[in-house]
Amino acid sequence: MQTAIIRAERVEKYYAQPSENRIQVISPTDLSVVPGEIVALLGPSGSGKSTLLRMLTGLSTPSAGQVYWHEKPIATADVNVSIVFQSFALFPWLTVLENVEAPLKARGVEASERRKQGLRMLDTVGLDGFQGAYPKELSGGMRQRVGFARALVVEPEVLFMDEPFSALDVLTAENLRSELLELWQNKTIPTQSIFIVTHNIEEAVLLADRIIVLGRNPGHIRTDFKVGLAHPRDRKATAFTQLVDYIYKVLTQPDAKPPKLPTTPTDKPERKAHYQMLPHARPGGIAGLLELVIDHNGKDDIYRLADDLGFEIDDLLPIVDAAQLLGFLTVTEGDAAITETGSEYANSEILRQKELFRAAAIENVLLLRQIVRAIEAKSDGSVSEEFFHDILDEQFTEEETVRQLETAINWGRYAELFDFDASRRRFIQAEKLVHEPDVDDEAETGA
């Protein structure tokens, strides 16, 4: 067992809320970064990837638990890490060389030595000749090269990267990725370990020796496994695509225990949320996806569907999730297959579609069921949004609570389960559910 450079022990993060409640963003988590590996951290938006990265670097203090740097509490240790950011985060008023020298200056390195090391690093990342340029004169790819040079010039023991390639076009990203890998494999840089946060599953499988997938609400490790593929990796190789499919599967089934991997992942017990997380998808989008799956003979690989649609997988996943939640789609081994109800839904005319959606929503979505029950239980047939806000607030962040309610309103209105009075922020009975001739609008608004 290798000694960890960084070791997080039961780290947690929560944020205070205006109300008394606090929002837990990371649940107690153990995680070690050991020498000789590239670790990729994947997870859906909001699962706490950046939060975890910030705690591991010492930029942010855990609310509970401890991070150790070579077994010393990180706050008291002489930490040698660098971070490359998605947004490059360069100083626009400094030249390329001055940007690269900045961290050396902060460490008190003398001017001529700074210049020497800065120029050498610019050379390493392919930017020799650009030392006098300003960031605005450079392309995105070159700016990120400056970002790398600035991070690497201090010879960090661990190099952290937060989505370093996602602001770049596909070809530039590919190019920069393989150059980084080359620097690492040839040991041109003395960095002991690289920790990369990414949204891109293929990127993780291309680069990483170990992949960690986070789940959310609150953030927790769903699976943490080694990637046994030799470099250079071939995206078309079966072992590669199997691994990509496996990770899609883990990500598209947030409530399932991660399945067995082609290699052996360390499965962690899965936590069950009281309320499922409603995926933020619109009914129209769900119907569109189902039609597409039908066009593909009722079954297709999610990854290929995203490709065909020109969608980022992150944009498609909520729609897939929603269709799955409603029982219109099943996802197995990264393949989405339409169910009988899903097929009927996609092929029906609008009123029948609404009926099917209504039945599926009531059956499968706790929040919608509760809203309908609450409206039915109230003599005035209306209930305030605040009531559900307070309940959801216990489980989700403020931002997510608002989004959950927005999605619930959208689905509930579409399915005619209820209506929503936006001026009074109240859920009200849907027109068509009002059977009593004497219950009119006035009675409703008088509540």
Q: Which stretch binds ligand ATP (CB under 6 A): 44-52, 62-70, 302-310, 365-373?
A: 44-52
- In whole angstroms, what is the distance from residue 83 CA to residue 351 CA? 53
SS3 429: strand
Q: Which stretch binds ligand ATP (CB under 6 A): 4-12, 40-48, 150-158, 364-372?
A: 40-48
User: Residue 238 CB, nearest distance to ligand ATP (Å)?
Assistant: 29
Pick the closer one to ligand ATP by CB: 138 or 197: 197
Show contacts with ligand ATP in window 45-74 (CB under 6 A).
45-51
Q: According to DSSP H, which parts of 237-377 are helical?
A: 238-252, 283-295, 302-309, 313-325, 340-347, 350-364, 366-377
Pick the closer one to ligand ATP by CB: 157 or 400: 400
260 to 289: interface string for ligand ATP, x by CB under 6 A: ------------------------------
User: Residue 106 CB, nearest distance to ligand ATP (Å)?
Assistant: 25
Pick the closer one to ligand ATP by CB: 51 or 324: 51
User: Residue 177 CB, nearest distance to ligand ATP (Å)?
Assistant: 19
377 to 406: interface string for ligand ATP, x by CB under 6 A: --------------------x-xx------
Pick the closer one to ligand ATP by CB: 109 or 208: 208
User: Residue 144 CB, nearest distance to ligand ATP (Å)?
Assistant: 17
What residues contact residue 413 under an 8 Å CB cut-off, 6+ apart?
A: 419, 420, 430
Give the N- to C-terminal CA distance of the chain in Å, as an integer.
66
- In whole angstroms, what is the distance from residue 280 CA to residue 258 CA? 22
SS3 25: strand
User: Residue 331 CB, nearest distance to ligand ATP (Å)?
Assistant: 21
DSSP character at residue 116: H
CA angle 335-336-337, nearest 5°? 115
User: Residue 372 CB, nearest distance to ligand ATP (Å)?
Assistant: 28
Q: In whole angstroms, how far apart are CA 330 and each of 42, 150, 247, 325, 335?
A: 23, 46, 16, 9, 8
Query: How far does CA 133 lie from the centroid of its chain?
Result: 35
Pick the closer one to ligand ATP by CB: 219 or 265: 219
Total of residues contacting ligand ATP (CB under 6 A): 14
User: Residue 219 CB, nearest distance to ligand ATP (Å)?
Assistant: 6
Regarding 15 and contact with ligand ATP (CB under 6 A), the answer is: yes
User: Residue 28 CB, nearest distance to ligand ATP (Å)?
Assistant: 16
DSSP string, 351-395: HHHHHHHHHHHHHH-HHHHHHHHHHHHSTTSEEEHHHHHHHHHTT
Contact residues: ligand ATP, CB under 6 A = 15, 23, 25, 43, 45-51, 397, 399-400
